[in-house]
């Protein structure tokens, strides 16, 4: 992990730009072999700050992924049974179009 900022004195707050934060968290996640404590020491932030950054990074990352949410589905190709289809059996409003195991029927009870 590289950090280009100069060391700060105790009590002095360091401000990071959002791009720097996201780049640092991305480096952390890609490295995979650095602890949170080491990361926090390298960037001179608290562990709580690291977790806040990571939460914000992941939330932002999820927003950038296209295709999240509902996807339209074309249902026109699905075969819906019609009255012309041959019914094998009917039980309590459940229509069977083929033979089923007795254990399956027992599980319906």
**Which pLDDT tens digit goes with each residue over 49-61?**
889 988 888 777 6
pLDDT of residue 4: 46
Each residue's pLDDT tens digit, 52-106:
988 888 777 666 656 556 777 777 777 666 656 677 778 777 777 788 788 887 8
The Cβ of residue 50 has, within 10 Å, a number of other Cβ atoms equal to: 19
Both tokens assigned to 43: 């960037």
Closest by CA to 61, choosing from 15, 30, 34, 16, is: 30
Domain residue extents for the chain: 18-64
Each residue's pLDDT tens digit, 10-34:
556 677 888 888 888 888 888 878 8
């Amino acid at each position: 992990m590289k950090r280009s900022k100069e060391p700060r004195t105790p009590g002095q707050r360091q401000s990071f730009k959002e791009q720097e934060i996201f780049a640092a968290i991305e480096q952390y996640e890609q490295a995979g072999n650095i602890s949170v404590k080491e990361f926090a020491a390298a960037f001179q932030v608290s562990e709580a700050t690291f977790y806040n950054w990571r939460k914000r990074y992941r939330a932002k990352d999820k927003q950038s992924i296209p295709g999240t949410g509902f996807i339209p589905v074309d249902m026109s190709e699905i075969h819906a049974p019609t009255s012309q289809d041959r019914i094998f059996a009917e039980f309590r409003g459940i229509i069977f179009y083929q033979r089923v195991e007795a254990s399956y029927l027992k599980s319906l009870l």
